[in-house]
């Protein structure tokens, strides 16, 4: 997979009904998410064929579906502190978390005009 400018890597947490129900029961969802997934808790490592690595950490959330009964979506946003080389082929993606991640989806999206 190659990265282009504006690419996004995220982890969707709301695939688990238990997690979704727990989040929906919170009065301040943003505050709750920042408490259980503070910045830096999740780390991703992209590695190239020549064994160079780019590190990403969680730095926030994309959310949608508040107020809808079953359609809440929460995606943890992973970003790099340094610039990710564009058009470089990555051969592996490893994700580590200090909290257990269950029933999640990994989102990879390259930007297109």
Pick from 18, 40, 34: nearest CA to 104: 18
φ/ψ of 19, rounded to 5, equals -65, -45
pLDDT tens digits along 49-65: 889 888 999 998 888 77
Evaluate whether residue 1 is within a structural domain: no
DSSP code at position 2: B
Count how many domains the chain has. Answer: 1
Distance (Å, whole) CA 81 – CA 90: 18
pLDDT at 44: 93
pLDDT at 94: 95
Evaluate whether residue 94 is within a structural domain: yes
- In this model, does residue 98 exceed pLDDT 90? yes
Residue 80: pLDDT band (50, 70, 90) is confident
Evaluate whether residue 113 is within a structural domain: no
Evaluate whether residue 98 is within a structural domain: yes
Environment class of 15 (CB within 10 Å of its CB; exposed 0-12, middle 13-18, buried 19+) = middle
Q: In terms of pLDDT, which residue wins out, 27 or 40?
A: 40
Domain that includes residue 99, residue range: 8-108
CA torsion sign, 29 to 13 to 83 to 7?
negative
Evaluate whether residue 102 is within a structural domain: yes
Q: In this structure, are residues 86 and 3 in contact, taking their beta carbons and an 8 Å threshold?
A: yes
Evaluate whether residue 38 is within a structural domain: yes
Tell me the pTM: 0.77
Evaluate whether residue 88 is within a structural domain: yes
Evaluate whether residue 51 is within a structural domain: yes
As beta bridge partners, residue 9 has 78, 108
């Amino acid at each position: 997979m190659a990265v282009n400018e504006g690419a996004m890597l995220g982890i969707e947490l709301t695939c688990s009904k238990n997690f979704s129900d727990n989040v929906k029961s919170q009065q301040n969802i943003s505050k709750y998410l920042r408490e259980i997934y503070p910045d830096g808790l999740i780390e991703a490592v992209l590695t190239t064929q020549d064994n160079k690595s780019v590190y990403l950490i969680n730095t926030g959330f994309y959310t949608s579906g508040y107020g809808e009964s079953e359609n809440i979506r929460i995606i943890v946003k992973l970003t790099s502190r340094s610039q990710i080389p564009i058009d470089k082929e990555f051969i592996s993606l490893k994700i580590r978390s200090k909290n257990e991640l269950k029933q999640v989806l990994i989102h990879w999206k390259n930007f297109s005009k």
